[in-house]
Structure 1
């Protein structure tokens, strides 16, 4: 049992070191030696957990997904109404802080690497589709009167919007500022909020959360 705890602690330390190297040096700087130096251990110890750089890249890509999925879970739970939850999930993708822009640069690096790496491409598709399913469910909750096809189209548009803004902001924050990203997301949400079906009380449903999130 103690050995298992030691192994888990070692892996957590290497995970933290992996993300630290990624954030500072990008995908090109992610090497077994760099992770070992950041973790304060030998390269051999890193190789005991990750047999080669490919395994390290797969771990780093999975780590990125886990970080963003946990943040999306928290954002979704913060919304009292479906539209609030949708807004919160979309807004947490926007790269309005240094940490988020750092994460966006890492994401763009993995996307570029996936073009030539089938395993990274598989992971990218799986993680992106998981996010798309989340958005599709939220759109369906906002607009139960829409057909599944319309919900799917809207969700795909929203995911493409926020991922595109995130990637573009990573290299051109002057044009794709945090404020510009928020306004683009709000404009897309207005299309979902417009002409909402009547509630049982005869109004058009809750308007809570219609302002821009922080």
Structure 2
């Protein structure tokens, strides 16, 4: 019987090979020959899935957008574990204990509920920063594609799509922090008594969301240039400080 090939899976594997090369050598190094060698396929197999290098780059960039969209959707509708940071294991354990009661608001006080919300949003935001090897590789790949998109009109739409995605995510996080409601509850259109919502010193939500977006972009670039532990701790502290400023 002829071998059945999952074309979507093969296209994704090829795109991931492009990512690996772009992370190490830049996007210019991701030639068809280099990609074929990276993923163990012939150049003919690569060209069967992608007629040109341009279509390969477009799919690779589109797949990054898809993966990030999926990850943000997951962290926006579940209770994520806090990202690694400088706090003690005991503090993290206590936060997780509060998060475990997130779906049972009656079990925790208003102050505890706010602590859960702040920690959850902080963890979601830290997922967008290169604070570990996996996220550093992803950020390096995206930086390579974004740079190429400045002069490649075929890649520019994907860069704009990612930018719009992050802008929406930042807006939801800010609205959540200002209202005191989890982001998934906001998305579902739920509401709660204004008396139970903590007060906030926040200003214009749109301006604050734009500030957050710029902060994330700047920190991501800073961490790519300076990926040592001290700078990662500083970036984590800055995100925590931003979240706390909206309480």
- TM-score, normalised to structure 1, is 0.77
Is 1:86 matched with 2:121? yes
Is 1:64 matched with 2:64? yes
Note the residue ranges of structure 1 that are not aligned, 5 or more in a row. 194-214
Q: Which residue of 1 aligns with 2:239?
A: 185
Following the alignment from structure 1 to structure 2, what is the Cα–Cα distance between the partners of residues 12 and 101? 20
Q: Which residue of 2 aligns with 1:209?
A: none
Following the alignment from structure 1 to structure 2, what is the Cα–Cα distance between the partners of residues 191 and 9? 44
Preserved contact between residue 83 and residue 138 of structure 1 (Cα < 8 Å): no
Matches within 5 A, 1:1-214: 6-76=6-76, 77-78=78-79, 80=102, 81-144=116-179, 150-174=204-228, 177-193=231-247
C-alpha displacement of 1:114: 1.5
- TM-score, normalised to structure 2, is 0.68
Note the residue ranges of structure 2 that are not aligned, 5 or more in a row. 81-101, 103-115, 180-198
Residue 115 to residue 32, structure 1, CA distance change in 2 (3 Å): same
Residue 9 to residue 174, structure 1, CA distance change in 2 (3 Å): closer
C-alpha displacement of 1:183: 0.9
Following the alignment from structure 1 to structure 2, what is the Cα–Cα distance between the partners of residues 155 and 4? 47
Following the alignment from structure 2 to structure 1, what is the Cα–Cα distance between the partners of residues 141 and 12? 19
Residue 36 to residue 141, structure 1, CA distance change in 2 (3 Å): same
Residue 176 to residue 119, structure 1, CA distance change in 2 (3 Å): farther
Give the aligned CA root-mean-square deviation in angstroms.
2.6
Number of residue pairs matched? Answer: 190
Question: Which deviates the most, 163-172 or 63-72?
Answer: 63-72
C-alpha displacement of 1:107: 1.8
Preserved contact between residue 118 and residue 244 of structure 2 (Cα < 8 Å): no
Q: Which residue of 1 aligns with 2:96?
A: none
Q: Helix, strand or coil: the match of 1:170?
A: helix
